[in-house]
Amino acid sequence: MKITWLGHSAFVIEEGKKVLVDPFITGNELAPVKPDEVECDIIAVTHGHGDHLGDAIFIGKRKNVPIVAIYELAEYINSKGANAIGMNFGGTLDYEGVKLSMVPALHSSGITESNFNHDGGLPAGFVIEINGKKVYHAGDTGLFGDMKLIGEIYRPDVVLLPVGGLFTMDTKLATIAAKWIRPKYVIPMHYNTWPPIQANPEEMRDELEKEGIKLVVLKPGESFEF
Check which CATH number belongs to the domain holding 178 and give it.
3.60.15.10
DSSP string, 45-111: ---SSHHHHTTHHHHHHHHT--EEEEHHHHHHHHHTT--EEEE-TT-EEEETTEEEEEEE-SS---E
- Domain containing 183 equals 2-219
Residue 109: pLDDT band (50, 70, 90) is confident
Tell me if 224 is assigned to some domain.
no
The helix/strand/coil state of 135 is strand
Please tell me the pTM assigned to this model: 0.97
**What is the per-residue pLDDT across 48-64, written as a single tens digit (0 to 9) for each?**
999 999 999 999 999 99
- Chain centroid, CA 16 distance in Å: 19
Tell me if 195 is assigned to some domain.
yes
What's the number of domains the chain is made of?
1
**What is the per-residue pLDDT across 189-216, written as a single tens digit (0 to 9) for each?**
999 999 999 999 999 999 999 999 999 9
